[in-house]
A and B are shown apart, each in its own frame.
Chain A
Amino acid sequence: MAAPLFDCPKDWEKATLEPDKFKGLIVSVATGSTPATTVDEYWDGDVPWLTPKEITGDFKGLYVSATERNITSEGLKNSSAKLLPPGTVMLSKRAPVGAVAVNTVPMATNQGFMNFVCGHKLRPLYLALWLKANITYLDRVANGSTYPELYKNDLFEFEICAPSVETQDQIVNAILSLEFAILLGAPLEQTSSELIETRRIRGETARLDAACSRLIPLLLSGQLDPRDFQKSK
């Protein structure tokens, strides 16, 4: 059982998370690491360095462009952390399991991540949404001996399914448009001087949020065509 939580159309590309250069979905996986904290020369440089807690809790959205701490290129050289190209899908594998982000600038991570580099047949945002939609699966296989943790073997057997990149883009766009409307709920609440109106906006945001989480699996399982979605807009 390494199947996703929902079935996909037969004609979509199928692969596991294990890197496979020829398939063109996931081409490589890099882990992160922490440079020695006792060496000052490794820290506070210009290489962004991400930890799982930065993309959980209040973190909304998918992109990360800056991190709480930076390391130096010396630090990068003297640890097993890799510099990830922009557009890498970073999945947290412990404390907590299953937080996802995509970097917009070259970036390294600590050892709490498994980082996926996508090939020409897979859009990073599509993969990020796919992983988020399957959090139940990730939680299920996170079987650490002391605390929940995702191991490479468990992750590599998990399946992903993807339509053509054009369709992926449409799916991602549809979801991003929704998220855009949802994310602007908070500033919108601040623009009104009417308390009743503010409350209405808040309720509306919650409702859109719920609709969005219902729509994502429908789109990722091919049950809903993103073109219809855009047409009806």
Chain B
Amino acid sequence: MPPSDSQSFLRDLDKKLWTAADKLRSNLDAAVYKHAVLGLIFLKYVSDSFAQRQAEIEAMLKDPENDFFVDPAGYDQPAKYDEAIHQELEERDYYIEKNVFWVPALARWQTLQDSAKLPAGTEITVKNGKTTTYKITSTGKLIDDALEAVEKENPKLKNVLNKNYTQLQIDPANLAGLIDLIATIPFQHADLHAKDILGHVYEYFLGQFALAEGKKGGQYFTPKSIVSLIVEMIEPYQGRVYDPAMGSGGFFVQSERFIEEHGGTIGDIMVFGQESNPTTWRLAAMNMAIRGIDFDFGKEPADTFTRDQHPDLRADFVMANPPFNVKEWWNSKLADDVRWKYGTPPKGNANFAWIQHMLHHLAPNGIASFVLANGSMSANQSGEGDIRRRLIEADIVDCMVQLPSQLFYSTSIPVCIWCLAKNKGASKKRGTERRGETLFIDARRLGRMVDRVHKEFTDEDIAMVAGAYRRWRGSDEGEEEYRDIPGFCSSATLKEIEFHKFALVPGRYVGFSAEEKPDLTHIDLKTELEALAARLEQITISATQASQTLYSFANGSTPI
């Protein structure tokens, strides 16, 4: 956790950049613009990291105390010495040993910024050890060629960068403006590195774009509240982490943050992901590259059900926010799939296909935790109820959390979190024996509105839910014992779940808090009844008056 001044520095930076970038968008569709902006932010990141490493190497070469010292005395002219240093600085090994992407001169940020406003036809010289010339045709083409060059030099980034700036319907002046804007992102701050700053900007932009894209954008972006909650609940600090519907990779980023906050190193996890949307798949890969997370997202973007990219994976942690209630997912070749251990999911709704896919890829002592629409907890249509019953009877359902609505940008449907574990017995990671039990948490009253339509969890909200689950599992470092809290959480047995006809809705298990119950303290009836008597008397008087008035009126005399 960086100290709060860096927090506020990042917050101000995010806002400033977003406002400026949004101005340059003019009429471009947010979904298209997103890739243009994020691609440039990524390029800035690789270029900055490269420049930083280059400065380090240069310092080494010029430090007489260093093993790599290049002695100027060995050169008869300063120019020759400078050339030697330049050649040395272009040595790839220096960069690769530190996991820094090698950036060819054309793609270095300074080159882009200097060349973006040059008229077409201008020739620039590019010096990568040897000197070449490059002819500018358009700003878009320049960026595409730069990205192409980066990809060619770094096998890890193969097919990851979105090289279509030439086709973008974006005004060259705006594109140049965007480059200037991104150039203003500092890559160092008191205690932040390039990856902290650019990673943060990258993620903030993802969120803002999800807002701007509305319904469609939300598919690829899970709100921070939910990602943080799931990560805090299952603590993925070591081993294989898998997200079969990863979108732009939010769960992995949050896992990394979790590890850092708990003093681990990022090398402790290896992330596996799958995503069918090609542009989103690229965003996720860039997202990982910025942070130096070791990732395997399969050979290519592909459908999780029909082209499983990690067939043999058994992950220690599975986290996901799969698309809800997908209607068109079925394919005839899925008929007898090994994954449908608890029953074939209905062809008109993929919820239970996602659940079983994740279970299939879960290690024997792992935990899977994912978001689904509320229907999954109680729907009995087309065999869903039977699959759910078998999951419950197999003692796999570990914890269910009902969430407040309005956490998502793209939908207002109420959602819940499922946590599954194949082994609920006591172990090193789980101090408490919980076989035959399931924890139910009703978190619907938590969260606060951040604007008219969106809700977010506070840190306290997250601690309250995640803490309850961790204490219940016996994997919390605190001394506190788990206990049921009426109206919030309750540990239920299989028998109770049977009574509720295998519906997993936490609201039905947790009971009521004291505030929700009617006040049954006696009231002073006597005083109340005196008021009542006076009231009834008044009604009688008014009624008599009214009848007298009407009576005399009917008898032809005017009422007094």
Residues of B within 8 A of A140 (CB): 442, 507-508, 512
- Interface-side segment among A59-67, A92-100, A107-115, A206-214: A206-214
Contact A136 to B516, CB < 8 A, known contacts A143-B414, A181-B536: yes
User: Which residues 513-560 in B have Cβ within 8 Å of A in the complex?
Assistant: 516-520, 522-523, 525-526, 528-529, 531-536, 538-539, 542, 545-546
Is B503 an interface residue, CB under 8 A from the partner?
yes
Q: How large is the interface on B (under 10, 10 to 19, 20 to 34, 35 or more residues)?
A: 35 or more
Shortest Cβ gap from B433 to chain A (Å):
23
* Cβ–Cβ contact B545 & A208, under 8 A: no
Question: Chain B, 352-364, contact with A by CB distance < 8 Å: what is the 0/1 string?
Answer: 0000000000000
* Cβ–Cβ contact B508 & A229, under 8 A: no
Residues of B within 8 A of A157 (CB): 499-501, 508
Residues of B within 8 A of A1 (CB): 490, 496, 508-511
- Interface-side segment among A22-30, A43-51, A82-90, A215-223: A215-223
How far, in angstroms, from A146 to B415 measured CA to CA in the complex? 9
Residues of B within 8 A of A223 (CB): 520, 522
* Cβ–Cβ contact A151 & B378, under 8 A: yes
Shortest Cβ gap from A192 to chain B (Å):
8
Shortest Cβ gap from B489 to chain A (Å):
12
Residues of B within 8 A of A141 (CB): 505, 507-508
Of listed B402, B519, B535, residue having the most chain A CB within 10 A: B535
Is B379 an interface residue, CB under 8 A from the partner?
yes
How far, in angstroms, from A211 to B528 measured CA to CA in the complex? 7
* Cβ–Cβ contact B518 & A133, under 8 A: yes
Residues of B within 8 A of A224 (CB): 522
* Cβ–Cβ contact A143 & B374, under 8 A: yes
How far, in angstroms, from A207 to B532 measured CA to CA in the complex? 10
How far, in angstroms, from A146 to B413 measured CA to CA in the complex? 5
- Closest chain A residue, CB of each to CB of B415: A145
Residues of B within 8 A of A2 (CB): 499-500, 508
- Closest chain B residue, CB of each to CB of A185: B535
Is B377 an interface residue, CB under 8 A from the partner?
yes
Contact A188 to B508, CB < 8 A, known contacts A5-B516, A6-B517, A215-B523: no
* Cβ–Cβ contact A143 & B505, under 8 A: yes
- Closest chain B residue, CB of each to CB of A218: B520
The one of B500, B503, B517, B531 that contacts A207, using a Cβ cutoff of 8 Å: B531
Contact A153 to B516, CB < 8 A, known contacts A215-B523, A232-B525: no
Is A176 an interface residue, CB under 8 A from the partner?
no
How far, in angstroms, from A100 to B28 measured CA to CA in the complex? 52
User: Which residues 157-179 in A have Cβ within 8 Å of B in the complex?
Assistant: 157, 178
Q: How large is the interface on A (under 10, 10 to 19, 20 to 34, 35 or more residues)?
A: 35 or more
- Closest chain A residue, CB of each to CB of B411: A146
Shortest Cβ gap from B285 to chain A (Å):
34
Residues of B within 8 A of A233 (CB): 529, 532-533
What's the dominant secondary structure at chain A's contact region? helix
* Cβ–Cβ contact B522 & A143, under 8 A: no
Contact A181 to B532, CB < 8 A, known contacts A143-B507, A146-B413, A154-B503: yes
Shortest Cβ gap from B514 to chain A (Å):
11
* Cβ–Cβ contact A191 & B523, under 8 A: no
Is A195 an interface residue, CB under 8 A from the partner?
no
The one of A137, A144, A154, A184 that contacts B539, using a Cβ cutoff of 8 Å: A184
Of listed B377, B442, B534, B536, residue having the most chain A CB within 10 A: B536
- Closest chain B residue, CB of each to CB of A137: B512
* Cβ–Cβ contact A5 & B518, under 8 A: yes
* Cβ–Cβ contact A153 & B378, under 8 A: yes
* Cβ–Cβ contact B505 & A145, under 8 A: no
* Cβ–Cβ contact B519 & A214, under 8 A: yes
Is B211 an interface residue, CB under 8 A from the partner?
no
Contact A214 to B379, CB < 8 A, known contacts A157-B499, A181-B532: no
- Closest chain B residue, CB of each to CB of A182: B535
How far, in angstroms, from A2 to B519 measured CA to CA in the complex? 20
How far, in angstroms, from A15 to B314 measured CA to CA in the complex? 48
Question: Chain B, 405-446, contact with A by CB distance < 8 Å: what is the 0/1 string?
Answer: 000000001100000000000000000000000000010000
Shortest Cβ gap from A34 to chain B (Å):
21
Residues of B within 8 A of A133 (CB): 518
Of listed B511, B516, B519, B525, residue having the most chain A CB within 10 A: B525
Residues of B within 8 A of A146 (CB): 413
Is B375 an interface residue, CB under 8 A from the partner?
yes
How far, in angstroms, from A188 to B375 measured CA to CA in the complex? 49
Shortest Cβ gap from B170 to chain A (Å):
38
Is B21 an interface residue, CB under 8 A from the partner?
no
| A–B Cβ pairs within 8 angstroms, 8 of them | A5-B516, A136-B517, A143-B378, A145-B379, A181-B539, A204-B534, A207-B528, A223-B520
Which residues of B are in contact with A by a Cβ distance under 8 Å? 325, 373-375, 377-380, 402, 413-414, 442, 490, 496, 499-501, 503, 505, 507-512, 516-520, 522-523, 525-526, 528-529, 531-536, 538-539, 542, 545-546
In the complex, given contacts A140-B512, A188-B542, A208-B531, what are 18 additional A-B residue pairs having Cβ atoms less than 8 angstroms apart? A1-B508, A5-B516, A136-B516, A136-B517, A141-B505, A143-B507, A144-B374, A146-B413, A153-B378, A153-B380, A157-B501, A181-B532, A184-B535, A201-B538, A204-B534, A207-B528, A214-B523, A223-B520
Would you list the 4 A-B pairs with minimal beta carbon distance, nearest first? A145-B375, A217-B518, A211-B528, A140-B507
